[in-house]
Structure 1
Amino acid sequence: MMGLILTFAIAHSGLASLRMAAEAKIGARLYRVIFALVSIPLAVVLLIYFFNHRYDGVQLWNVQGISGVNEFVLVLSAISFLFLYPATFNLTEVAAIKKPEVHLFETGITRICRHPQMIGQCLWGIAHALWLGTSFTVTTAIALVIYHLFAVWHGDRRLFKRYGDAFLAVKARTSILPFVAIAQGRQQLVFSEFVRPAYIGVAITVVLFRWLHPIAIGAAANVNW
C-alpha cells in the first residue's frame, strides 16, 4: 500500500509541477487529459486495493459495537467529502471541455481552510481508522495524510511561482488549519458563498457515495488484488 501511495504521489504531484511547462508546449486541454489518464487509474487501483485489504494486519481496536460510533464515523466521513471535493467545482475545466485554468480561490470553503483537500483527507483517515481499527488502515491513513501535507507545501510553492505577490496576499488572509484565519480576524465567513450548485452537488455526491459504498466494496472484491 505504501508503494501504491508513493507511486500515486510521484505521478500526481510530478505532473502538477510540470503543468506550466507542459501547457506551454501541448496546451491546457491536452495536459488535463494526460493528467487525468495517469491520475484516475492510479487512484482507482488505490481504492480497490484498500477495499480488499482494509482488514489486513493487526486488529488494534474494535469499536464497531459501541453505540454512537457508527453515526460519528458517518458524519465525519460526510464532512470530509465536503472538504475533499471543492476542487471539482469547475467541472467543465476538470473534463477539459472548457480550457482548464489555475484559480487563486479565496471564497467559500477556502475562507475556512486554504487547503481543504488536506483537511478532508485527515478527517477521512480518522473516520476510517477509527471504524476499521486495523494496522493496514492506520498505515494507509497516515501515509495519505503525509502526502497531503507535502501537497500543501507543493501547492503553495506552485501558486507562488504562478501568482507571486497576489498569492502571498491570499496566503496572509487564509490559514491551513480550519477557522484559524477567521478566529484571528484575517478572514470572515460569507455564508452566501456556500449557496451555489457546486456545494449542492457535493452534498448529493456524499449521499450517492454512501449508497454506492457496499456496491463498490463488492465490485472490488471481484478483483483478485
Structure 2
Amino acid sequence: MSTDPHSWFAPSHFIMLALLGGFGLTHSGLASLRMAAEKKLGARLYRVIFALASITVAVIVIGYFLKHRYDGVLLWQLQGTPGLKSFIWALSAISFIFLYPATFNLLEIAAIQKPQVHLYETGIIRICRHPQMVGQVIWCIAHLLWVGTSFTLATCLGLIGYHLFGVWHGDQRLAKRYGDAFAAVKARTSIVPFLAIAQGKQTFQLKEFLKPAYVGVAGFVWLFWIAHPLMMRAAFNVRW
C-alpha cells in the first residue's frame, strides 16, 4: 500500500471501502434482525437503535469522503465547464427524490408513530421498486462528474455495490415477511426505472407525487445546499 495520497493505492481508498463495509454490516445487519429484535425490544426502541447506529456510521463515511475526495489519481477534470455545476445540482436534487421517497412515513422514521414494515406499490415505487439504489447511482454520477479522482471512483463503486446488494437483501426480507403478497408486488414492479411502466404493469400517477412529503424533500435539498460548504469545512478540520 502506497503512502502517497495521490496514487492508485493511497490508504484512503482502502479505508473508505472498509468504512462502507462497516456501514453495510450495520445497516443491513440490523435490518435483517428487525423481526426478532422488535419482538424483544419493541418497534420504537429498535427503530431508535437502528437509526442512531446507521446515522452515526453514515456521518463518519460522509465526513471521510468530504475530507479525502481529491485523494488518488486525477482521472478527469471537468470543473469550470459551462453549465456543469447547475447540471450536477439538478442531478443531486433528483437523486434525493429517489433516496428519500415520500412513501416513507417520517413520523415512523422518528419513532413518533409505531414503526411498521409497509408493502408499497404507489408513488415512486411505480417507477422503481428500489428507489434508493437508483438515487445512489444518480448521486454517484453527479459527484464523479465534479470530482474525477480514483478515490471518488472507489467510493462510488463501493456505494453502488452495496446498494445492489441491498436490492437483493431487501427483496429477500420482504419475501420472508409477506410471501405471496410480495411476489405479486414484485411481478408488477421493476428494479430498472420505468420498465414496469413501459411493460404496462404500472401507470405513472402524477397526483401521487403531489404530497407535502415531497415539499419536505425539496426543503431538505435546499438545506443541504446551504449546509454543503459548512460540511466540507467541518470535515476538513477533522484529523483522519
Give me the TM-score of the superposition, normalised by structure 1.
Answer: 0.97
**Contact preservation (8 Å) 2:70, 2:152:** yes
Aligned partners of 2:102, 2:168: CA distance in 1, in Å? 17
State the AA in 2 paired with 1:30. L
- Paired residue secondary structure (1:70): helix
Map 1:36-47 onto structure 2 (within 5 A): 36-47=51-62
1:213: Cα distance to partner?
A: 0.6
Aligned partners of 2:87, 2:187: CA distance in 1, in Å? 34
In structure 1, the partner of 2:120 is 105
CA pair 87-197 structure 1, distance change in 2 beyond 3 A: closer
Aligned partners of 2:103, 2:51: CA distance in 1, in Å? 13
Deviation beyond 2 Å, 4+ runs, structure 1: none
Map 1:129-140 onto structure 2 (within 5 A): 129-140=144-155
Map 1:81-100 onto structure 2 (within 5 A): 81-86=96-101, 89-100=104-115
- Paired residue secondary structure (1:60): strand
1:68: Cα distance to partner?
A: 2.1
In structure 1, the partner of 2:92 is 77
Aligned partners of 1:212, 1:104: CA distance in 2, in Å? 34
How many residue pairs match? The answer is: 225
In structure 2, the partner of 1:204 is 219
User: What percentage of aligned pairs have identical amino acids?
Assistant: 66
Aligned-residue Cα RMSD (Å) equals 1.0
- Which structure 1 residue ranges, 5 or more long, are not aligned? none
In structure 1, the partner of 2:13 is none
In structure 1, the partner of 2:42 is 27
Structure 1 position 222 matched with structure 2 position 231: no
Structure 1 position 175 matched with structure 2 position 190: yes
**Contact preservation (8 Å) 2:91, 2:138:** yes
State the AA in 1 paired with 2:33. L
In structure 1, the partner of 2:6 is none
Aligned partners of 2:170, 2:118: CA distance in 1, in Å? 12
Structure 1 position 16 matched with structure 2 position 31: yes
1:88: Cα distance to partner?
A: 7.5
**Contact preservation (8 Å) 1:88, 1:94:** no
In structure 1, the partner of 2:22 is 7
State the AA in 2 paired with 1:187. Q
Give me the TM-score of the superposition, normalised by structure 2.
Answer: 0.91
State the AA in 2 paired with 1:53. H
- Which structure 2 residue ranges, 5 or more long, are not aligned? 1-15
Aligned partners of 2:235, 2:167: CA distance in 1, in Å? 30
State the AA in 2 paired with 1:27. G
**Contact preservation (8 Å) 1:115, 1:176:** yes
Aligned partners of 1:209, 1:26: CA distance in 2, in Å? 33
Aligned partners of 1:74, 1:135: CA distance in 2, in Å? 21
